[in-house]
Chain A
């Protein structure tokens, strides 16, 4: 695939060199009411990396992404974007800072057309020319969406909805893209396609934090990974090391 760069902000609001870390979580504790969902999560993502966060159902992967996006606010700890704290900001302000998410279950706007869904991704932006360029780039990454522009989101197949969800997030021109279970419920062939596209998006300069249950695929495309268990990071390191780790092999890769 040779699509043009999805996003390289023309004038970064802050020089990337100021902090080597695109995103950092420091001892983050998040609650759902009285339920202590994240019990001190620390992780970081460097500029240009794909980092994956793997773990079982209910480990807190989605909670982690929702905390980064500002849908949930940590009761303790800090979320830093290029060294600046963002954990007190509202979700729409975090999008403005350059972090956007393709949420778990896709959450596309099913009664809006594919085109409108993509427009919503660019809601916070005012640069019409650059938006149009990103629109073309997203369609170059996901040519199938092009044929479906006038269709309601809800009429798309699962794979197409996933493409739309990722494309919609890209329309915000994020520097950090959060992907929550992009392979969920998809046929193996489509999973391949989606992961190839994720690598392509990353190559075009977008930093990616990828949450997956499909640890095998995730560790294949990521440079580093973290393992989350019941709200705590229990392992972290280069993806290749994790792939060789016995515990990871047993619990997440299905290798006895």
Chain B
């Protein structure tokens, strides 16, 4: 493999993984932006998303009387993939709203440590929900996506760079979601209400914005994105595990902090950066060292630019 090919390969892997990380990171940053809470339960919401997708992917084929989904005709498989994505998004969106209502809303005026501890509590609860639901072992998430090497099979380019349909799908699902969120927050009435509430909650309420509703909406969106990440994660990595939320959450949290927590563009950039750094580390150093590299990077960011890459724009109160 030539050096350019190596670089391209690492970048492609990094971007595909980074897309998943960025989707989760957005949930951290959205919630932090509006109520200044690090939602430690968010990684677990992501895990529940994978479980919800797994349920669809195994349950629907059983309706057709088959054990393995990929034996079904292509369009049905595509619908199952889409269905698992939607199911994961809806489940996690609603779950996140319930979590906010039950565990955070009453603590909104409390000292910041209280909702943080509550978030850790929710995280434990959700891990145990995952354990009860799907058991403690790592599960196989059925491989539903066609094994296509895009460069060779579709584009006819003779290269050693491997970019599969799976990689493409991760990007094709994640990027429009991120773009959609961006447009929603920038241009819609409710999106603007979210920004106003994030900047100054009291002033927003005095302008007629329903704060509780706006915060619930923020959790809804963050949950939906975590659900999408969960579904993509299952389809992409072909595994599901009740404990997967810890690592997924920690990577995404690192991405959010690196980009500048509270800043949406920071989450996209941070997610991609972590994805690419992890891919480089996997390739150049060793996959076993990747977590060390990622968290080492987090420490460096916290020391030299604690506000993150785009960190100026975090919440300030007049």
Give the interface centre of B199, B206, B208, B209 by most chain A CB atoms within 10 Å.
B206
Task: Quote the shortest CB–CB distance from A68 to chain B (angstroms).
Answer: 10
* A-chain residues with CB within 8 Å of residue B313 when the two chains form the complex: 111
The contact size tier of chain A is 20 to 34
Give the complex CA separation of A161 and B193 in angstroms. 19
Q: Is the CB of A96 within 8 A of B205?
A: no
State whether A90 touches B199 (Cβ < 8 A): no
> From B202, which residue of chain A is reached at the shortest CB distance?
A71
| B38-53 interface (Cβ within 8 A of A) | none
Report B-chain residues with C-beta under 8 Å of the C-beta of A125: 208
- In the assembled complex, the Cα of A200 lies from the Cα of B257 at a distance in Å of 49
A-B interface contact total, Cβ < 8 Å: 80
> Is B207 on the interface with A (CB-CB < 8 A)?
yes
Q: Smallest CB-CB separation from B192: which chain A residue?
A: A116
Most buried by A among B195, B205, B208, B210: B208
A109 contacts B205, CB within 8 Å? Answer: no
Q: Which residues of A contact B318 (CB under 8 A)?
A: 105-108, 110
Chain A residues with Cβ below 8 Å from B202 are 71, 91, 103, 107
Give every chain A residue within 8 A of B206 (Cβ-Cβ).
69, 71, 91, 95, 100-101, 103, 107
Residue of A nearest to B193 (CB): A123
B106 CB–A CB distance under 8 Å: no
Determine if A112 is an interface residue (Cβ-Cβ < 8 Å).
yes
List, in ascending order, chain B residues with CB within 8 A of A91's CB.
Answer: 202, 205-206, 208, 211
Interface residues in A111-152 (C-beta closer than 8 Å to B): 111-112, 116, 119-121, 123-125
Given contacts A95-B207, A103-B206, 6 further A-B contacts (CB under 8 A): A90-B205, A112-B195, A116-B192, A120-B193, A120-B196, A123-B193
Tell me the B residues contacting A by CB distance below 8 Å: 189, 192-193, 195-196, 199-200, 202-212, 313, 316, 318
A-B contact pairs, 10 of them (CB 8 A): A71-B202, A91-B208, A92-B205, A95-B207, A95-B208, A106-B318, A119-B192, A120-B192, A120-B196, A124-B208
